[in-house]
């Protein structure tokens, strides 16, 4: 076994280095806190830090409340769109007629149907509440609603 005083010396050296690093960090933080402050003002500084923490908590709560309001409001905007083109009359060529479903997050909105003939185009609108309508829906309108519901 070698000299035990060497091990003690190494241990004390490591211990002193660790304490020096800890004290350096402590005094650096302390210096930042007390910069430009008299001896009796430490209590005021800590009270100011605590009051800022309370103020930040209130601000964060207000921001979260506003975010919830925005999120709730966003659900009422157009979220889903479905379009189906079709040919309702065999004597006309091409898919010039259409059904357009415009829905929000709760599947509430409208379905707009445009029927194109040689003479004119007729446009119909039916309201949709939670994916259903009080009016009879055609197969194309149902397809447009399903397409919109899948689009999100």
**For residue 31, is pLDDT > 70?**
yes
Q: Which residues pair with 116 in a beta bridge?
A: 121
Task: Look up the pTM and report it.
Answer: 0.60
Say if CB 108 and CB 79 are below 8 A apart.
no
Quote the CA–CA distance of 35 and 149 in Å, as a whole number: 61
Q: Which of 35-39, 58-62, 98-102, 125-129 has the lowest mean pLDDT?
A: 35-39
List, in order, residues 6 or more apart from 69 with CB less than 8 Å away. Answer: none
Q: According to the model, what pLDDT value does residue 138 have?
A: 92
**Tens of pLDDT along 71-91?**
888 888 899 999 999 988 777
Q: Dihedral through CA 50, CA 51, CA 52, CA 55, nearest 10?
A: 130
Q: Which of 9-23, 24-38, 67-81, 94-108 has the lowest mean pLDDT?
A: 24-38
**For residue 146, is pLDDT > 90?**
yes
């Amino acid at each position: 076994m070698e000299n035990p005083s060497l091990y003690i010396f190494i241990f004390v050296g490591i211990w002193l280095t660790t304490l020096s690093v800890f004290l350096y960090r402590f005094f650096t933080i302390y210096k930042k806190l007390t910069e430009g402050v008299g001896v009796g003002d430490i209590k005021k500084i800590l009270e100011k830090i605590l009051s800022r923490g309370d103020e930040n908590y209130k601000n964060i709560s207000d921001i979260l409340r506003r975010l919830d309001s925005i999120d709730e409001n966003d659900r009422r905007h157009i979220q889903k769109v479905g379009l189906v083109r079709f040919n309702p009359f065999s004597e006309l060529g091409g898919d010039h007629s259409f059904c357009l479903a415009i829905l929000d997050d709760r599947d509430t909105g409208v379905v707009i149907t445009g029927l194109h003939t040689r003479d004119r185009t007729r446009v119909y609108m039916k309201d949709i509440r939670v994916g259903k309508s009080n009016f009879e829906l055609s197969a194309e309108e149902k397809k447009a609603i399903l397409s919109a519901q899948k689009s999100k």
